[in-house]
Amino acid sequence: MKEVFLCSICNVSNGGCKEDCAYCTQSLKHNTGVEIYKEKSHEDIVKEAKFFYEAGALGFCLVTSGRSLTSRKTEYISKAARMIKDAGYNFHLIACCGSADKKSLQELKNNGVDSYNHNLETSKEFFPTICRTHTWEERYQTCENAASVGLMLCVGGILGIGETWEDRAEFYKSVNSLQPFTSNINFYIPHKALPIKNDIMQRTEAIECIKLARRYLPNTRLMMAGGREAVFGDDQREIFEAGIDAVVIGGYLNAKGGEIERDKNMLSSYGLGIASACH
């Protein structure tokens, strides 16, 4: 029986980002009105970890907004990682904190972080169309930095932001060159304040995107993240047939997810198991 991995997200800081990524509701440039907060307390982070651990998630990702992993953020995330592991929540722990140098990434690893999530988002050629405040190369370098200190990689992106099929193929070639453990797939969710005016992707096109990712990344865990509910509604069987083997449960950064129990029931109704170990 195919088993699906459940991953969860803890949005430890939100909004207030000075970058201009055109698809992101956390950018200050777009006035999206999302809640802005700097840092959740470590106690609240551990409470969320407990909730998702008991719900059966194997992955727990600590996500900060903003361009990069500063020394302050490194300390803050390191403390959160230690507290989560000391409390006995033996997650595959992921940090997603933007551009980062080797020294900061090494510190995260030393404190119990297992993987670093940094997305290339799209092809190198298309990236300057959707972001002018930092480069695709900076993103690629961070992924290389994370791998060089022994962190496992989660590298994915967002589809449906105006890129062509050629961009998608180039993007997945680049992701493949990093050989990530996991690649997350997000479908763009329209927001009236964002400059990208595309509608939500049609499900047939979205399924083709998943199949394309699977072709380029035969050995990588493919995780369906933002847009799962918005694109596929309650009928999600096809995404697993197309190659998805992990899902984010319990909501995304600034978009609601489905009920966790409902997701689990859905998986079992498709004859899919829930993975009980990460490797």
Which is nearest to 153 in space by CA: 207, 92, 199, 214?
A: 92
Site for ligand SF4 in 67-126 (CB under 6 A): 67, 98
Nearest distance from C-beta of residue 20 to ligand SF4, angstroms: 7
Nearest distance from C-beta of residue 218 to ligand SF4, angstroms: 28
Residue tagged 């006995």 (tokens): 88
Strand runs labelled E in the chain = 3-11, 59-63, 92-96, 115-117, 152-154, 157-159, 182-187, 221-224, 246-248, 273-274
- 192: tokens are 């009236």
Residue 154 interacting with ligand SF4 (CB under 6 A) = no
CB closer to ligand SF4 out of 6 and 62: 62
Nearest distance from C-beta of residue 221 to ligand SF4, angstroms: 22
Alpha helix (H) ranges present in 123-253?
127-130, 136-148, 165-178, 203-216, 228-232, 237-242
Nearest distance from C-beta of residue 82 to ligand SF4, angstroms: 25
- 240: tokens are 């697993």
Q: How many CB atoms lie within 10 A of CB 62?
A: 27
Q: Which of 11, 27, 106, 186 binds ligand SF4 (CB under 6 A)?
A: 27
Nearest distance from C-beta of residue 263 to ligand SF4, angstroms: 25
Instruction: Number of residues interacting with ligand SF4: please give it, by CB under 6 A.
Output: 10
Residue 17 interacting with ligand SF4 (CB under 6 A) = yes
Residues that bind ligand SF4 (CB under 6 A): 17, 19, 21, 24, 26-27, 65-67, 98
